Amino acid sequence: MIFKLKSNKFTVSGAPNLVKTLNDNNSASAKISKVRFISKDESILPNIYPGEFAPKASFVREGTVEVEIQQVQIFDEGNIYVCDVNQTVFITVKDLHSPISVLDYFYLISDKATLTAMHNNDHDNLSPSGSTERIYNDTGVVPAIWSNDFLYNAAYANERQRQAMIDEMIKQWNNGAIVQLLLHVAPPTVTPEDEIKGVPWSRRGGSANAVQSDLTDEQWVDLLTEGGVINANWKRRLDVYAKYMHQLKESGVVFLFRPFHEMNQHVFWWGGRPKTTLAGNDLRNTTADLYCMTRDYLEKEKGLDNIIWVWDMQDLGASYGNSYQTPYDSTDWQQFNPGNDYWDIFALDIYDNANGTYTAEKYSQAKKTAKGKPFAIGECYVLPNKTEQPEQSEWVFFMPWGKDTWEHNAQQKIREAYQSNLSIADTPRFSSSL
């Protein structure tokens, strides 16, 4: 027996959802991860996607609701099982908490708990949730945070695939997840019309339009100068992204946005220009200034007020920047800081395994850089383990880098990381306002 309800009448309070309620009242040991149900009062428990399994299903009003529990999915001994239930329950909701903003929730859990997450970079699979689905099948955990990317190659940068990503993002939010968008995209010299045709990832082969390419100092000045040719072209590109972001806003979706990630990483067209770099003999033309200009345009010109802005760096060694055309200290993160008013969350991408993955030094620097704001593991191959986490308790989430997760972690470690941290069902109901 892996599922049996203790009763058919429950009383819940606080920030409950149906999956958590069923787990709290399951007399068997296995944990419920999803439920298929029919609510008889959608003013209390909405049937958001009827006929589909829900990973959370939040209550939205106090009162008593009759719910037909049709099936549950349970993870037991390494497998997902579908159990037929076909039982009616009556759930009384009392003292229901109001929805909380995503950013306030990050502040709330800092030093108390860490959210599970997954970035979906399945380049061999056009499903916008391929890695999220795989982690669920392997662990029984639906991650609390879902992530995807506008991307650069023809298979993903086209309108059909980007729309599929946005549609899935809205669905993930409606199912109770926190959602994130990234911006691994073509250089600003590429027009919107050419961008959807795709560009290379690497500069190998001599492509000036690759994600990993360089802009000249003159191009940087033109990019960041109002009225410049590249400036105008980049804003046309932002108009395209904003079109999709407005769909999120209209659907009530608040999302994390992490543009120009790993700003101290000079292989990317946007990276490696700290505030000490003389770009066109003008200290204003830096990677941080590009971040600020992009936020100002999307927020002030396009009216996108549903974005939580993430500033992201990488755990590069001190000598990394010495190899660039204008050497810089890649460990001096403040040289890439857009300014306290321009970002809400600090994230560190942790890939340097040779010198220690989750070292106390990296954690301390991230905490110092955040200056009281939430901070997170923005990307990783190797997952944090139980030994490291208690000593580094203020990471608000860890974001494994898609399918690479399985190449760098044993199956047991993956399960431990996800099963010992917060899943989607462990989170409250989120507000559609910042």
pLDDT of residue 1: 55
Structure letter (DSSP) for residue 44:
T
195, 335, 366 from 68: Cα distances, Å: 48, 57, 47
pLDDT at 179 over 60: yes
pLDDT of residue 204: 74
pLDDT of residue 427: 98
Contact criterion met (CB below 8 Å) for 312 and 279: no
Q: Taking residues 422-427, report their average pLDDT.
A: 98
pLDDT of residue 21: 96
What are 272-324's pLDDT values in tens digits? 999 875 444 455 679 999 999 999 999 999 999 999 999 999 999 888 888 77
Contact criterion met (CB below 8 Å) for 19 and 33: yes
pLDDT at 56 over 80: yes
pLDDT of residue 284: 60
Nearest to 350 by CA among 340, 363, 339: 363
What are 236-247's pLDDT values in tens digits? 999 999 999 999
Three-state secondary structure call for residue 311: strand
Which domains, and CATH codes, for the chain? Answer: 9-96 (2.60.40), 102-426 (3.20.20.80)
Q: What's the rounded Cα separation, in Å, for the pair 282 and 289?
A: 11
Contact criterion met (CB below 8 Å) for 358 and 394: no
Partner residues linked to 9 by β-bridges:
90
To the nearest whole number, what is the mean pLDDT of the chain? 93
Q: What's the rounded Cα separation, in Å, for the pair 297 and 313?
A: 22
pLDDT of residue 103: 98
Contact criterion met (CB below 8 Å) for 243 and 420: no
Supply the pTM of this predicted model: 0.96
What are 124-163's pLDDT values in tens digits? 567 899 999 999 999 999 999 999 999 999 989 999 999 9
